[in-house]
DNA sequence: ATGAAAGCGCTAACAC
DNA sequence: GTGTTAGCGCTTTCAT
């Protein structure tokens, strides 16, 4: 910058202002500076600016995993608004581990990012690491997977209702023993879906409420054996609502392997944005979350919190509806 | 930091060194400093460090899109090594647009990142933006989609061979008019796959080499109509090798819609890491790239370039093999 | 083993 | 409309 200033016989302050299109600089000088900068291949050093301005123009995106269509689509939504706002996105993966999440969030302090978008891991049962960040006045928005009971902004879908609808749908299609497949007992999103599911059973006087929710924990290998046990054991369910994409994939693989026929012996519904749902064998009934929109809304909320100082994000709550798309996997034969 | 120094009656220099576990500081003082830092919730300001040390501990990851299983898995591989090395990952999406790619790479200069991992967009036909970055001595590694003819490190798969094998596979399964579905005429990866494909046709004296490669450009809507035209027109192919996941999805959707029977009327092979391939209707034959490993290898190469100064990345070349997994979609009935 | 001081590249307050 | 200057929070010689 010094060089540039010398080259043009102006001060560094002038260059600085011109580079950022300040209105205190004449159009003429601006043009001169910008041209010279382009010629010399000069751009502002972002970290020097960050240090001085005390803002990083960067947000953190914390995901449990990325090999799930929902999160891929959400990244698109988030990225699109970040880009428009001139912000950069740091991506972090917790791999569903609480300890990873803790260390990721600790990296977010000290001004590394101006805000955090997070979908919590299935293991997370304590929120101290999140609250710590909030105490540093870093805006935080939960999307999809929130930590319940906190005064933190969140963008979610109508989980209870969808769980309810899924159960009703299965019952109406002849299931007498439907089961909800969860991945966590602490994840609000799973619990709400499960609650809705159970509420429907109760209302319809159907199924076995005591055993209606099955939690698959651990690695995907564990998941497989747990599901296999469930589907081949006695009192095996004739309907499944899978809380996440991965579980439905496992159910399908197993049905192909064991010869359990979908939908004849087992009907399946899944919470997922899977694009291949209509071309699966059989086509899979999904409850599709508006993933892109959830990401977008969460990012927009976050930027409101970042840009409008004094704006209190804490109680913001956005709920975007998911839709159940009926396909062969849950149809009454 | 000043506060911390005052609190402990040491100098800021001592604190700085202690925080980074320098050997010129006694164990005793280190412990004292670290404890006080933990107590006061103090962490180093990353941007001040970056400014001073002239390194950001951050890399950029530039992807054409994220809604493709290959890239999702690659992110995992990249993230895993970045994390281990204590680096942060900025994620950028070009959405297959050349101009986006140009502006993304321009953001990467001025020390924002210490290195760049990129898979180029299907539109990219000029490499000036990439070379500009290289001239700034920023280490760059291509993964999967390289720009051909540049002296830049790259990690790819055996594309020619796989294109060749795919064609042989279709011919052996009875196809007389197989076609390769490409997304770009400039993408090296597509061209190599197409070249391999054509080489096989030539060798086997099969098909119509002149019309063996069909390029689907533009938005996904355009793609749909182009493919529909191809598959319902005259001289329609009896075999398809799709160069990317998305195209195979489109072919499947269309076959379900138009009643074209796979594999009876049309056999399909796709370059993809799709997890749902075995449970599609019919199960889809894939050429599966080692996506995680490609990401990992690319990141490891990049860090070699970043950490070993004077190390010349330019001519590094890693090729990891893909495997063809035969499933129903290409089987001879 | 510890400290003093210069300065990384930039911005903001203030002077002109 | 432009210039001067102090300093953001840290690291790094170089003294001691």
Q: How many CB pairs under 8 A join A and B?
A: 127
- Looking at chain A from residue 270 to 299, which residues have their Cβ under 8 Å from any Cβ of chain B? 274-276, 278-283
- Which residues from chain A sit within 8 angstroms of residue B50, using beta carbons? 47
With a pLDDT cut of 90, the percent of chain A lying above it is 90
Count of CA atoms in the C-beta half-sphere (13 A) of B71: 28
- Band of pLDDT at residue A223, cut at 50, 70 and 90: confident
Residue contact A253–B73, C-beta within 8 A: no
Measured CA to CA, the distance from residue A305 to residue A153 in angstroms comes to 10
Tens of pLDDT along A15-55?
A: 999 999 999 999 999 999 999 999 999 999 999 999 999 99
3-state secondary structure of B89: strand
> Given this model, what pLDDT does residue B219 score?
67
Global pTM reads 0.95
* CA angle at B160 for the pair B157 and B166, rounded to the nearest 5°: 100
What band does A220 get if pLDDT is binned at 50, 70 and 90?
low
Measured distance CA(B284)–CA(B191) in Å, rounded: 23
Looking at residue A222, its pLDDT comes to 83
Distance CA A141, CA A318 (A): 11
What burial letters (b/e) apply to B207-222, b meaning 16+ CB within 10 Å? beeeebbbebeeeeee
- What is the set of domains in chain A, with CATH numbers? 2-44 (no CATH), 53-157+293-322 (3.40.50.2300), 159-288 (3.40.50.2300)
* Confidence check: pLDDT of A121 > 90: yes
Nearest CA distance, A79 vs chain B (angstrom):
8
- pLDDT tens, A72-95? 999 999 999 999 999 999 999 999
In angstroms, the CA B271 to CA B95 distance is: 19
- pLDDT, one tens digit per residue, over A277-321 is 999 999 999 999 999 999 999 999 999 999 987 788 999 999 999
> How much is the pLDDT for A278?
95
Question: What pLDDT shows up at residue B271?
Answer: 97
Kindly state whether A89 is in contact with chain B, defined as any CB-CB distance less than 8 angstroms: yes
pLDDT of A221 above 80:
no
pLDDT at B102 over 70: yes
State, as a whole number of angstroms, the distance between the CA of B12 and the C1' of D4. Answer: 29
Using the CA of A4, which nucleotide's C1' is the nearest one?
Answer: C9
Calculate what percentage of chain B has a pLDDT beyond 90. 90
Q: Tell me: the pLDDT tens digits for A132-157? A: 999 999 999 999 999 999 999 999 99
| Interchain pair B93, A76: CB under 8 A | yes
Distance from C-alpha of B178 to C-alpha of B191, rounded to nearest angstrom: 16
- Nucleotide D7's nearest residue (CA vs C1') is A52
- C-alpha distances in angstroms, B81 versus B20, B170, B297? 21, 38, 9
Mean pLDDT of chain B: 95
Taking contacts as CB-CB distances below 8 angstroms, the residues of chain A near B282 are 281
The pLDDT assigned to B221 comes to: 73
Residue A219's pLDDT is 67
User: Is beta strand B239-242 parallel, antiparallel or unpaired with respect to A285-288?
Assistant: unpaired
Interface of B with A in 99-118 (CB under 8 A): 106-107, 109-112
Report pLDDT digits (tens) over B247-306: 999 999 999 999 999 999 999 999 999 999 999 999 999 999 999 999 999 999 999 999
Query: Would the pLDDT of A215 be above 70?
Result: yes
Judge whether A260 is closer than 8 Å to chain B, CB to CB: no
């Amino acid at each position: 910058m010094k060089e540039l200033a010398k080259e043009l016989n102006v001060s560094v302050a002038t260059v600085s202002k011109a580079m950022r299109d300040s209105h205190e600089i004449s159009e003429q000088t601006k043009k001169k500076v910008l041209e010279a900068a382009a010629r010399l291949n000069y751009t502002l050093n972002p970290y020097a600016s960050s240090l001085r301005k005390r803002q990083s123009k960067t947000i953190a995106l914390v995901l449990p995993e990325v090999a799930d269509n929902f999160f891929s689509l959400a990244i698109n939504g988030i990225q699109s608004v970040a880009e428009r706002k001139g912000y950069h996105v740091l991506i972090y993966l917790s791999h569903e581990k609480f300890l990873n999440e803790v260390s990721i969030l600790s990296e977010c302090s000290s001004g590394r990012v101006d805000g955090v978008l997070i979908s919590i891991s299935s293991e997370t049962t304590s929120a101290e690491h999140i609250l710590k960040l909030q105490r540093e006045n870093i805006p935080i928005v939960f999307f999809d997977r929130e930590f319940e009971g906190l005064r933190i902004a969140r963008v979610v879908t109508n989980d209870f209702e969808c769980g309810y609808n899924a159960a009703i749908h299965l019952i109406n299609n002849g299931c007498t023993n439907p089961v909800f497949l969860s991945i966590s007992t602490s994840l609000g999103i799973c619990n709400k879906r499960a609650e809705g599911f159970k509420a429907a059973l109760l209302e319809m006087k159907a199924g076995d409420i005591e055993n209606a929710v099955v939690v698959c924990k651990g690695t995907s290998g564990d998941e497989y054996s747990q599901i296999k046990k469930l589907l081949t054991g006695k009192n095996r369910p004739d309907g499944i609502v899978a809380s996440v994409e991965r579980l439905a994939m496992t159910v399908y693989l197993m049905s192909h392997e064991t010869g359990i026929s979908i939908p004849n012996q087992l009907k399946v519904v899944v919470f997922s944005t899977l694009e291949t749902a209509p071309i699966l064998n059989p086509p899979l009934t999904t409850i599709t979350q508006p993933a892109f929109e959830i990401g977008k809304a969460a990012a927009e909320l976050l930027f409101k919190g970042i840009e409008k100082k004094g704006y209190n994000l804490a109680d913001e709550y956005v709920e975007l509806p998911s839709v159940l798309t009926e396909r062969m996997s849950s149809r009454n034969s």
